[in-house]
Structure 1
Amino acid sequence: MATIKATMPGVFYRCPSPGAEPYVAEGSDVSEGQTIALIEVMKTFNEVKAEVSGTVTKFLIADGDEVSMGQDIMEVDGA
């Protein structure tokens, strides 16, 4: 089991825009380097890329929550 961490402080978003499908959901397979979320910092949206490949097993924060740099945001199994 591995965790993917926030790369910067800001607001965490699972979707590319309001009403859009999330980048990934629990049970989704992800590949290293794949965009999995966004973090908004001062009205700039920064992509969060998967650091490992595997299956998303759990989100550790909710969409729209504030995150700190290095905070765990999701768990990935099979990495």
Structure 2
Amino acid sequence: MSKQIQSPLPGTFYRKPAPDQPPFVEDGGDINAGDTIGLVEVMKTFHEVKAEVSGSNARFSVGDEEPVTAGAVLVELD
């Protein structure tokens, strides 16, 4: 059964800490509980999204700089 990490807030999801930086987590990568997997920007304020579960084979369902709603699934893990 897959595990999910959801957006805690509505806003714009960013997979990278800065435009010229690599993503926090690569597609297919491993995630440990507590890892930062992305940022959600709300009104020019950036909020870290931290994983509450660990897993492997990360599959992002939201692209970089895409709008998200609170509770939207950002990534699924094995």
TM-score (norm 2): 0.93
Query: 1:3 and 2:13 equivalent?
Result: no
Query: 1:47 and 2:48 equivalent?
Result: yes
Q: Report how many residues are paired.
A: 77
Where structure 1 has 5 or more consecutive residues not aligned to the other structure, the ranges are none
> Which of 52-61 and 3-12 deviates more?
52-61
Q: Which digits, 9 at most, give the CA deviation of each residue in 1:10-62, with x for residues without a partner? A: 00000000110000011211110111100000101100001100114311011
CA RMSD of superposed structures (Å): 0.9
Q: Which has the higher strand share?
A: 1
Where structure 2 has 5 or more consecutive residues not aligned to the other structure, the ranges are none
Identity, % of aligned pairs? Answer: 47
Query: 1:75 and 2:76 equivalent?
Result: yes
